[in-house]
């Protein structure tokens, strides 16, 4: 079937993310991908500045990941995880426990990031109930966050971006504090610390947990904050008998310059969610890690099991490719790459500060963001960036990149010049 026929069927039947049916801007038809390049049906090649929603950190068709997948599929693609186990899952869980702070000991494998947040919340509520604190069942978060699209994660997404008004009466009403002051390097604001302290103290009796994205708020607005606020949250949650959940689905595996963003603060949460780059962008998989205290609490409670078990839990193909991806990260070369990318993004995006429509230019690790003073016209921006040979997916007032770690300086120059062009056209 030719490209036009496929796109007509796509428009007729295929629902795309965050889109009406049919979509307003027709999607590009991709026929292949290799390294950092997407190959389109019309013969064009685009340098991918998105890592396929921040997941494909090693690029596409990486020989090590391809081989891991092929080897595993020759053994078994899937078996149920109830009553059965296998080496790929055991290795993955053990590696995650080794990589993350010491007190995180137990791993629940999930099929997507949103599900890992559901599991994290279920763990927290069930733990509180097990110890006779069933009244502690609300969550506190700061505004500007994003934790996924199923209903529980939606309830802790930014109330405006998450359209809470549309879902009043449907979503559980969580406790929101203002977004953390912007700037990774900006000195911590004592009055914001007071705001956090007052809110946690006031709601302590009803709070099961505080949940936040550490250091970088991703899909809620691509904002960075000082790690000190995470240390403050750790102290306050301990003081008030509240659990602390870090959602590192976007920030995990090196994206911010540390293996996990929590390491910028030296803070260990009670529960940690990882996903996105976990499988190097090959397959859908996420994980929820927790402390022995939480696992023991649940396992000795009134319902002494964690009542969760996705059909494709612990999928061996996803585990095998995750193990291969973590293997590629193990030599620490990613750290050098992320530093190199950070420098290239800083240099490449600096001229944007002089563009009239640009309100802010910010870079942290392998994340580069141009924030405009008005919403981006998606159709125009897509036209401009693809004409410059790049693939980017701006949203709201943001033109940003989270490139694969294997991007060369020349690839990054394509991405940053496309970003500058899109901002100039806006």
Ligand X SMILES: *Cc1c(COP(=O)(O)O)cnc(C)c1O
Q: Which stretch binds ligand X (CB under 6 A): 14-22, 86-94, 145-153, 410-418?
A: 145-153
Residue 315 within binding range of ligand X, rule CB under 6 A: no
Residue 148 within binding range of ligand X, rule CB under 6 A: yes
Nearer to ligand X, 157 or 423 (CB): 157
Binders in 286-305 for ligand X, by CB under 6 A: 286
C-beta nearest to ligand X: residue: 113
The answer to whether 146 is a known ligand-binding residue is yes
Print the binding letters for residues 260-289 with ligand X: x by CB under 6 A, - otherwise: ---------------xx---------x---
Measured CA to CA in angstroms, residue 21 lies from 7, 10, 15, 25, 369 at distances of 13, 10, 6, 11, 29
Measured CA to CA in angstroms, residue 103 lies from 97, 100, 272, 292, 294 at distances of 9, 8, 11, 7, 11
Measured CA to CA in angstroms, residue 275 lies from 162, 260, 292, 318 at distances of 20, 12, 21, 11
The answer to whether 113 is a known ligand-binding residue is yes
Q: Please select the residue that binds ligand X; options are 59, 113, 144, 254, rule is CB under 6 A.
A: 113
Kindly state the smallest distance separating residue 318's Cβ from ligand X, in Å: 12
Residue 230 within binding range of ligand X, rule CB under 6 A: no
Kindly state the smallest distance separating residue 7's Cβ from ligand X, in Å: 25
Residue 146 within binding range of ligand X, rule CB under 6 A: yes
CA distance 220 to 211: 14
Residue 158 within binding range of ligand X, rule CB under 6 A: no
Nearer to ligand X, 218 or 281 (CB): 218
Q: Please select the residue that binds ligand X; options are 120, 250, 298, 329, rule is CB under 6 A.
A: 250
Print the binding letters for residues 194-223 with ligand X: x by CB under 6 A, - otherwise: -------------------x----xx----
Q: Which stretch binds ligand X (CB under 6 A): 56-64, 111-119, 136-144, 355-363?
A: 111-119
CA distance 236 to 242: 8
Q: Which residues are catalytic?
A: 18, 146, 247, 276
Please give the size of the binding site for ligand X, defined by CB under 6 A: 16
Kindly state the smallest distance separating residue 75's Cβ from ligand X, in Å: 26
Nearer to ligand X, 53 or 206 (CB): 53
Annotated binding-site residues for substrate read 53, 146, 276, 309, 393
Q: Which stretches of the chain bind ligand X, using CB under 6 A? A: 112-114, 117, 146-148, 213, 218-219, 247, 249-250, 275-276, 286
């Amino acid at each position: 079937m030719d490209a036009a026929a496929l796109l007509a069927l796509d428009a007729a039947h295929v629902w795309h993310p965050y889109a009406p049916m049919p979509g307003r801007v027709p999607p590009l038809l991709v026929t292949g991908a290799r390294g950092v390049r997407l190959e389109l049906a019309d013969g064009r090649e685009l340098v991918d500045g998105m890592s396929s929603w921040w997941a494909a950190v090693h690029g596409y068709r990486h020989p090590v990941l391809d081989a891991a997948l092929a080897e595993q599929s020759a053994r078994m693609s899937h078996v149920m995880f109830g009553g059965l186990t296998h080496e790929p899952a055991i290795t993955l869980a053990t590696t995650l426990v080794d990589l993350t702070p010491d007190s995180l000991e137990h791993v629940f494998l999930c099929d997507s990031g949103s599900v890992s947040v559901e599991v994290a919340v279920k763990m927290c509520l069930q733990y509180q109930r097990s110890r006779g604190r069933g009244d502690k069942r609300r969550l506190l978060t700061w505004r500007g966050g994003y934790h996924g699209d199923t209903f529980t994660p939606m309830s802790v997404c930014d109330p405006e971006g998450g359209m809470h008004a549309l879902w009043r009466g449907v979503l559980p009403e969580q406790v929101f504090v203002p977004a953390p002051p912007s700037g990774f390097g900006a000195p911590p604001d004592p009055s914001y610390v007071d705001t956090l302290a007052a809110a946690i103290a006031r709601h302590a009796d009803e709070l099961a947990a505080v949940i936040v994205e550490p250091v970088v708020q991703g899909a809620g607005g691509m904002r960075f904050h000082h790690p000190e606020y995470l240390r403050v949250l750790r102290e306050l949650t301990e003081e008030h008998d509240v659990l602390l959940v870090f959602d590192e689905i976007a920030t995990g595996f090196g994206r911010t310059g540390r293996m996990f963003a929590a390491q910028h603060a030296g803070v260990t949460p009670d529960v940690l969610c990882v996903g996105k780059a976990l499988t190097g962008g090959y397959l859908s998989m996420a994980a929820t890690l927790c402390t022995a205290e939480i696992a023991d609490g649940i396992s000795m409670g009134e319902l002494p099991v964690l009542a969760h078990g996705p059909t494709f839990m612990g999928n061996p193909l996803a585990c095998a490719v995750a193990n291969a991806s973590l293997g590629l990260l193990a030599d620490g070369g990613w750290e050098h790459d992320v530093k190199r990318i950070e420098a290239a993004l800083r240099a490449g995006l600096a001229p944007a500060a002089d563009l009239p429509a640009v309100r802010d230019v910010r870079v942290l690790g392998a994340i580069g963001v141009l924030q405009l003073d008005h919403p981006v016209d998606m159709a125009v921006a897509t036209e401009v960036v693809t004409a410059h040979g790049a693939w980017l997916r701006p949203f709201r007032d943001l033109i940003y990149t989270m490139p694969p770690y294997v991007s060369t300086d020349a690839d990054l120059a394509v991405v940053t010049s496309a970003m500058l062009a899109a901002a100039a056209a806006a």
